[in-house]
Amino acid sequence: MTTYGFIGAGNMAGAIVEGMVAAGRSAEVLVWSAHGSAAALAERTGVALAASGPDLVALADVVVLAVKPHVVPTVLAGLQEALDAARPLVVSVAAGLSTSRLESLLPDGARVVRAMPNMAAGVRESMTALATGAAASQEDLEAVAGLMSEVGSTMVLAEKDFSAFIALAGSSPAFVFTFVEALARAGVEAGIPKAQAVEIVAQAVLGSARTVQVEARRRRETGQGRTPADLVDAVCSPGGTTVAGVVAMERAGFSSALIEGARATRARDLELS
Ligand SMILES: NC(=O)C1=CN([C@@H]2O[C@H](COP(=O)(O)OP(=O)(O)OC[C@H]3O[C@@H](n4cnc5c(N)ncnc54)[C@H](OP(=O)(O)O)[C@@H]3O)[C@@H](O)[C@H]2O)C=CC1
Ligand SMILES: O=C(O)[C@@H]1CCC=N1
């Protein structure tokens, strides 16, 4: 059994750990953080809490760094001795930190895999990108894919594309949550209670996403599936309600706003690195 040790237990580690617990793999998880959030996560989910960072490193086969990017150098500086002794596989989910930057902060020859998950890991629907560092093997990649595929879909991605990926998947749940909140507010304006409006919009988003996936699969397999643009056309009856809404949304800059959001996210990731 592989033991996955999480350093940092905030939003992202919390989502992955909750996904692992939902997958029945809580026995493989160990957590630690500096100021009490790991203790709270362990209490909430029943996973084991390490006594200290060095203890976690000594016990884990795979150490997952889930602290903010600017905290990673300090955390690794405090763990050098333990990392050098145990030589675990190190996984980072931090935005903006390349595998080569991570390797420069670790003992020589450290095996590093970079992962970019998203918050949907908590419901086992993350979209996670993976890239290996210079010393990591195919087996190392498979160990991390084994962890992340328990909490959603995974894809191996060239590291140069991670900034774009963060815009499309790592950060995009916040774009979608903003969309849900805004559309639900429109429902409230029209007289629907907020909780009911959120439930309605969430199911509409879920169903739309599933439709895109099913059509994309059909397109791959048979060449017949519809693209997202085809699906927009399928909902827009000529002279109907939807096209009136889509035209008004585009007049207000909906597509441009999303593209600008993705560009700013990508630019910020490049800036962090
Ligand atoms: N949030 C998201 O949707 C996503 C986040 N990420 C990446 O995940 C990483 C974590 O982000 P997120 O979970 O949102 O951040 P949070 O602020 O929610 O969590 C950060 C965690 O770091 C811990 N921490 C802070 N300082 C130290 C320290 N010196 N030693 C050990 N642990 C420490 C905190 O615990 P304590 O206070 O107890 O020390 C806390 O549990 C980031 O690098 C981010 O780029 C990647 C994809 C998506
Ligand atoms: O906002 C951030 O920097 C992190 C990385 C991806 C999602 N949250």
Among 162, 184, 215, give the residue marking a domain's end: 162
pLDDT of residue 180: 98
Confirm whether 167 is domain-assigned.
Answer: no
Residue 70: pLDDT band (50, 70, 90) is very high
C-alpha pair distances (Å), 162 with each of 113, 117, 236, 269? 13, 11, 34, 9
Residue 163, pLDDT score: 97
Residue 114 lies in a domain: yes
Q: How far apart are CA 100 and CA 161, in angstroms?
A: 15
How many Cβ atoms from other residues are within 10 Å of residue 18's Cβ? 20
The predicted model scores a pTM of 0.96
Please identify which residue in the block is written with the tokens 């670790």: 106
Tell me how far apart the alpha carbons of residues 61 and 139 are, in angstroms, rounded to a whole number: 13
pLDDT at residue 1, as a whole number: 87
232 CA distance to ligand 1 middle (Å): 38
245 and 134 within one domain: no
Is the per-residue pLDDT at 273 higher than 90?
no
- Please list, residue by residue across 202-230, b when 16 or more beta carbons sit within 10 angstroms of its beta carbon and e when fewer do: eeeeeeeeeeeeebeeeeeeeeebbeeee
Q: Is 259 annotated as a binding residue?
A: no
How confident is the model over 194-237, as pLDDT tens digits?
999 999 999 999 999 999 999 999 999 999 999 999 999 999 99
Residue 123 predicted with pLDDT over 90: yes
C-beta of 117 in contact with ligand 2 (< 6 A): no
Ordered DSSP codes for 77-98: HTTHHHHHHH--EEEE--TT--
> Nearest C-alpha to atom 5 of ligand 2 is from which residue?
95
Judgement on whether residues 127 and 205 belong to the same structural domain of the protein: no
Range of the domain at 54: 4-162
Q: Which long-range contacts (CB under 8 A, 24 or more apart) does 218-224 make?
A: none
CA atoms within 13 A on the CB side of 59: 20
Predicted pLDDT at 114: 98
- To the question of whether residue 12 is assigned a binding role by annotation, the answer is yes
Tally of CB atoms within 10 A around 76: 23
- Tell me, using a 6 A CB cutoff, whether residue 171 lines ligand 2: yes
Q: Is 164 annotated as a binding residue?
A: no
How many domains does the chain fold into?
2
Query: What is the pLDDT confidence band of residue 45, given thresholds at 50, 70 and 90?
Result: very high
Whether residue 58 is contained in a domain is answered as: yes
Q: ipTM strictly over 0.95?
A: yes
**Ligand 2: which residue has its CA nearest to atom 8?**
171
What is the rounded distance in angstroms from the CA atom of residue 26 to the CA atom of residue 34? 21
Residue 160 labeled ligand binder: no
- Pair (123, 198) in one structural domain: no
List the residue whose alpha carbon is closest to atom 7 of ligand 2. 171
The verdict on the CB of residue 166 being under 6 Å from ligand 2 is yes
